[in-house]
Amino acid sequence: MRKIGYLGPQGTYCEEIVLRLYSRSEACLKPFAGIDAAIRAVALGEVDECIVPVENSLEGSVNITLDTIAHDVNLYITKEVVLPVRHNLLAKKDSQEIAAIVSHPQALAQCRKTLANLYPQAKIKPVESTAEAARIVAASDGLYAAVGSLKAGEIYGLTVLAADIQDNQANSTRFIGLERQPANNVQGKSKTTLVCQINGERPGSLCNILQEFANREVNLTRIESRPARTGLGMYIFFFDIEGSTMESNIAAAVSAVEAKCLWYKNFGSYPIYHVGK
């Protein structure tokens, strides 16, 4: 039976993705307290795969995911799952006054305007996950509320003070599956992800990299820079490519980019799935 790690505890959106991908009879689920811990567990062989968030449509990239896979482990992305996210404000039954609101930093940011309108005096406190926030509220004195899923509210016996509180109804999050081996024979709707460091002291270095994609009519769906951790002003670049290296033009572009980089890592090609709420 496969062991699947995810950002826990029970009731997170990560767990929801895992349960959509695998039945209880197919996989043994293992929650982790942090995203980086779930990723490292795959690298160490404690689990076969982990599911973690990588980007939100409102708040952008999940930096801990990008930094961990770039610098700390050697893993492959084997799938992407896009989930429409609907946040709810959860509290203990009969809560009257809300002094503090807790949740994962991304969830809090996705509901920033709504929370300010509902409870302008409440303190905003980030925690490791939306489900951990629900657990904290369930154990609190009733002055706390959590931003999380209806499932988390159900698990921890909380009531819904306000539903669908995300600031934009188009709110969606991309989750990725990470494994020690790449996905094979990826075709159809897919992506390929690279990360590299270029010579930033040479004018036009980034343009030269981008030209390798443009010359072969390869479409980039995302470019993201993160600190290279080698000095101030030094950066690495993530590239999400539409399609798989099974396509000759994409394979050629990837090879050309690798030859021009100071440092390079290919996370492989992987299928994309969209799930509804």
* Per-residue model confidence as pLDDT tens digits over 161-177: 999 999 988 888 899 99
Whole-angstrom Cα distance, residue 109 to residue 257? 35
pLDDT at 247 (0 to 100): 94
Domains of the chain with bracketed CATH: 2-84+171-179 (3.40.190.10), 88-163 (3.40.190.10), 190-270 (3.30.70.260)
Compute CA distances 131 → 127, 165, 254, whole Å.
9, 16, 39
> What would you measure as the largest C-alpha separation in the chain, in angstroms?
63
Q: Which of 223, 87, 106 is nearest to 146 (CA)?
A: 87
Please say if the pLDDT value at position 96 is more than 80: no
Mean pLDDT of the chain: 91
Is the bond into 31 cis (omega within 30 degrees of 0)?
no
Contact residues for 135 (Cβ-Cβ < 8 A; gap 6+)? 9, 11, 156
Backbone angles phi, psi at 90, to 5 degrees: -115, 140
**pLDDT over 90 at 117, yes or no:** yes
- pLDDT > 90? residue 221: yes
**pLDDT at res. 155:** 92
User: What are 247-258's pLDDT values in tens digits?
Assistant: 999 999 999 999
pLDDT over 60 at 277, yes or no = no
Residue 87 has pLDDT above 90, yes or no: yes
- Per mean pLDDT, which range of 13-27, 110-124, 151-165, 256-270 is the poorest? 13-27
What digits encode the pLDDT tens for the residues 26-63? 889 999 989 999 999 999 999 999 999 999 887 888 99
pLDDT at 223: 95
Lateral strand order in the sheet of 159-163: 123-126, 100-103, 144-148, 88-91, 159-163
In angstroms, how far is CA 187 from the centroid of its own chain? Answer: 23
Burial degree of 221 (CB within 10 A; 0-12, 13-18, 19+): exposed
